[in-house]
Structure 1
């Protein structure tokens, strides 16, 4: 019976490709399911043989440690070089979105305050 190794929800394509590559390199049989048309399932990478699951999990843990180290290094390099994205960069890039979010927050806070106001009258 097949076992799910990786749910592809919020997984970037480069990471999924790396996982497929290390499974192929290890000689493990796998298959990938596609996302559902209604967004209920986002697909996954499955192992065909249950016997491979423990080794695949170990390989996955090693891969994720390496990916985490590379991501941290890239973040630190961007911070040193001053190229990290700041709140001001986001606000300059899409000010309409920022204003809409602030208005939505104010509206929701007001909507939550209405029952308290009505009860205090």
Structure 2
């Protein structure tokens, strides 16, 4: 079965040996995506909502590179460092998926690679085979 990969160009992909997303048939798996800005730093430190939106924008671009988009997402996993801020993370998620809600899990974790990161998001999508 053919595999198609896309990369976002962050240093993490090279350092850790992974791609941003991979398409296998009509399934797309997007790696855990952190809120990285264009210069490689953390986007919007201490802003849970903005960081989640940034993660989802990076994910959307990866999906589009592979012939899909956010409405094709069937599962999201949101890893957060402070579950008490769940409403901020959830608002960004709802705004992105409101009309096409996927299955979702939000889990509090101890930490991410950079202490300024509050969230990391991974998704799975299913799209038409011919796209």
Tell me if TM exceeds 0.5: no
Q: What TM-score results when the alignment is normalised by the length of structure 2?
A: 0.21
Q: Which has the higher contact order (CA 8 A, sep 6+)?
A: 2
- Between Structure 1 and Structure 2, which shows a larger proportion of helix residues? 1
